[in-house]
Every structure is written in C-alpha cells, then in structure tokens.
Structure 1
Amino acid sequence: MNRTDRNNTDDHAPAEPGRAVDLNTALLEGVGGISGMVYTALPVIAFVTANAFCALPIAIGVALGVGLVLTGWRIKRGERLSSAVGGLAGVAVAGGIAAWTGSASDFFVIGIWAALLCGIVTLISLLARRPLTGIAWNAVHGGKHPWRADRPTLLAHDIATLAATFVFAARFAVMQWLYLADATGPLAVAKIAMGTPLTALTVLVIIWAFRRSTRRLITTAPAE
C-alpha cells in the first residue's frame, strides 16, 4: 500500500511544477521579445519623425497608420487578437490625448503616469510585506501555499517586486523630467530604451522568484 501511495503521489507531483513552467512561458511571451520591442517602437518612431517635419495632426495620423499596418501584420501571423488590437488602442489613445491638448509631448503622458501608478502599487505591497509577485505566484497555484511563512521564498518575492518597483520609478522619473522639458525626441528614446528591455530584465527576476517558490514549496513538499 505504501508503494502504491508513493506511486500515486509521484503521478500527481509534476502537475504543479508544470503549471509553473507554463506561467514562465506566459511571462516571457507577455514581454514579446525583440518583435514586441519593434511593435512598440515603430509607432513612436513614426510619430516623432513625422512631428519633426509635419503638423501634429499629421504626425498622429502617421503613427496610427503604422499601428494599423502592424496590427494587420500581427493578426496575419496568427497572434492573439487582443494583443494585436491592444497595441493599436494604445497608439490611438496616446494620439487622442496629444490631439486634445495640442502638445506632442502628451503622446507619452499615459505611459508616464501608468509607471507612477504601478510603482506606487508595488511599493505599497512591499511595505505591507505582501509583495505582488508572491501574491501572483500563490494565486496561480491555488492560493493554498504558506509562501509568506517561508523566509527564502518571501525574500525572493521581495527582490522581484523591488526590481519591478525600481523599473517603474526610474521610468517615471526620467520620462517625467523629459516631459516637463517638452523634449519630445528624447521622450521617444526613453520610452523605447526603458520599455521592453527593462521589462524583460524584470521578468527574468520574477521568473527566478517563481521557480524558487515552486522548488521550495511544491517540488520538494512530497519529500518533506
């Protein structure tokens, strides 16, 4: 009976680590890799370039046109409709704000304030000793693991959430400074440089924290 019970346990044990692997893959796919960086950068580059030679409404139209082409290309490649249309929606909202205020720099205002909001939320979670990455990991695994009671696991999520907080804070500080200086070109550079590359590094830290949590609280749990 003991051997049978052990075999049954072994049969079900890999299920949770497998789910963690799926989550790691989803996180990496969410960043988008090099293609994601290109999809994000091209409308911004088109807007700034057009704005240097044309009136603001034309520059907004050029950015929307590039966004439409990219959306069609992404759908043709078989990407999820929500991801493809989401990028276009972001360009449309940014362009709408710039058109409403008449300032090219306002094309970037949503990203600036979104970075501030996300930074505040992640910082509050750290101060409350409930880092967001740990909450996310536990929710994915059924919300039944005492991850805060395991100090190495809690520390890992402190580090991961702190990395996200730092990225959000740095993004807000740099872009807000450029926004106040009305430096549209440098704003575009900062948005691209501090967008996907820094997000990808943060995701790697989060994946490390997730794997550490899974290894300590799930993979080794049957043996303990």
Structure 2
Amino acid sequence: MNTTITEESATDMQANRTTGHRQKKSALEQAGGTKGMVYSAMPALTFVVANNARGLKFAIIASVALALGITVERLARKESLAPAFGGLFGVAIAAGVAWWTGSAKDYFVIGIWASLAGAIAFTASVFARWPLAGLIWNSATGKGHVWRADKYSRLYYDIATLVLAAIFAARFAVQQYLYQADEVGSLGVAKILMGYPLLGIGLLVVAWAARASDKRLKTAGLLPAGRR
C-alpha cells in the first residue's frame, strides 16, 4: 500500500512539474523570449543602417518590409496575433510619421513621447494607491485585487511600479536629448539598448514584488496556498 501511495505521489509530482514547465513556457512565449527581443530590435536597426546607406525613403521601405516579413513568419509559427500585428503596426506608424515629416529622427518620436506618458502614468498610479505593476500583474494572473488589503503588498508593488516609471523616464530623457541633437544613429542604438534589456530588469522587480506579496497573503490567509 505504501508503495502504491509513493508511486502515486511521484506521478503527481511529475505531473505538477510538467504543468509548471508548460505554464512557464507559455509565459515566456507570450513575452516573446529571446527571439522576440531580436525581432523588436531589427526594424529600428534596419532603419538606421538603410538611412545612412540609401536615404530616408529606402530606410522606411526597408524597415516596413522587414516588419511585414517578421509578422508573416510569426503567424506561420502560429504565434498569438497581438504581438505579431502589434510590432508591424508600431513600425508602420513610426515609418508613416517619418515619411510625412521628411525627417529620419521622427521615426522615433512616438516612442519617445510614449515613454514620457508611461513614466507619468506609472508614477501617478502610485500616488493614487493603485500601483500599475500590481494591478496589471494580478489582473493577468487572475488574483484580482486582494493584494490591496495588505499594506506591505502595496509597498512591494509601489517599488516595482516606481522602477518601471524610472525606466520609462530614462528612456524619454536620453532619447529626447538625442532627438534634439539630431543623432539618428544614436537614437536607434538607444532605442534598442533601452528597450527589452531595461524592461527585463523592471519585470524582474515586478516578479520579486509578486513573490513577496503572495507569501504575505498566503500567511494571512488572503490567498489560497495553491494559488501562484
């Protein structure tokens, strides 16, 4: 009988590990993974290189064509529609602005001001006592708003939200300076280096806040022990 129980327990543990692995893989796929980071950087890099080599119109065509090719490839691999078309839409809008103004640096202008908007929104959410890091994370994981019942959980998410706000603010400050200096090549480099790499640091802080919050909520009985 003990042998049977042990075998069943081992089977359950293996099943849990397999399920957990699938969940982690799914989350990684949704984030785009390493390939997603490369894909996000390629249109901007192509735009800068092509602009230096052949001028603005060629750079616009090259970046949009590359983004379209990436979208088709991602759809062929049956990735979710949102990130596939989201990347293409973003590149198309940036290229359209540059085409309309006739200035290569305006390819980056929407991203620059979106960073400022992000910095303001994340900072304001802390003062409003609804830190966006906690709101977005717990909504995405189906935990609702129970975390707001614990002041330390709110503090953890306040910290994570302010880190994300600082990342957005840094993006805006650096890229706006380069924009004013008309440094198109440096703008492309800054966009790449301050994109996923910095966001990855922010997400690590959000993950820390989530683990710390869950631990407190489970101890207080506000979150079932089985929820993660």
Say yes or no: TM over 0.5: yes
Q: 1:35 to 1:95 in 2, by over 3 A?
A: same
Number of the residue aligned with 1:116? 116
Q: Shift of the alpha carbon at 1:26? A: 6.6
| Superimposed CA distance per residue, residues 19-63 of structure 1 (whole angstroms, 9 cap, x where no aligned partner) | 9x96x7776544423211110111111111110021311110011
User: Which shifted more, 69-78 or 115-124?
Assistant: 69-78
SS of aligned partner of 1:214:
helix
Q: Would the alpha carbon gap of residues 143 and 168 (structure 1) be closer, same or farther in structure 2, given more than 3 Å must change?
A: same
| Residue identity in the other structure for 1:152 | Y
Match of 2:144 in 1: 143
Q: Number of residue pairs matched?
A: 203
What percentage of residue pairs aligned between the two structures are identical? 49
The question of 1:91 aligning with 2:126 is answered no
Opposite residue 216 of structure 2, the aligned amino acid is: R
Q: Normalising to structure 2: TM-score of the pair?
A: 0.80
Instruction: State the shift of 1:161 in Å.
Output: 0.3
The whole-number CA distance in structure 2 between the counterparts of 1:218 and 1:114 is 37
Residues in 2 aligned to 1:142 and 1:157: alpha-carbon distance in whole angstroms:
14
Letter in 2 for 1:82: A
1:15 equivalent in structure 2: none
Q: Does the 8 A contact of 1:36 with 1:196 survive in 2?
A: no
Distance 1:132 1:25 in 2: 24
Decide whether the 8 Å contact of 1:37 with 1:192 is kept in 2: no
1:38-117 correspondence to structure 2 within 5 Å: 38-117=38-117
Cα deviation for residue 143 of structure 1 reads 3.4
Question: Where do 5+ consecutive residues of structure 1 fail to align?
Answer: 1-17
Question: How far apart in 1 are the matches of 2:124 and 2:26?
Answer: 25
Deviations 1:108-167 (A, max 9, x none): 01110110001001111112232112233454545352x334232122111110110110
The residue type paired with residue 107 of structure 1 is Y
1:1-224 correspondence runs (5 A): 28-139=28-139, 140-141=141-142, 143-145=144-146, 147-218=147-218, 221=221
CA distance in 1, matches of 2:208, 2:28: 12
Provide the rounded CA distance (Å) in 2 between the counterparts of 1:25 and 1:203: 16
Q: One-letter code of the match for 1:62?
A: A
TM-score between both structures, scaled by the size of structure 1: 0.82
If asked which structure has higher relative contact order (CA below 8 Å, sep 6+), I would say 1
Secondary structure at the aligned position of 2:144 is classed as: coil
1:166-204 Cα offsets, whole Å, 9 max, x none, are: 100000000000001110000000000000011111111
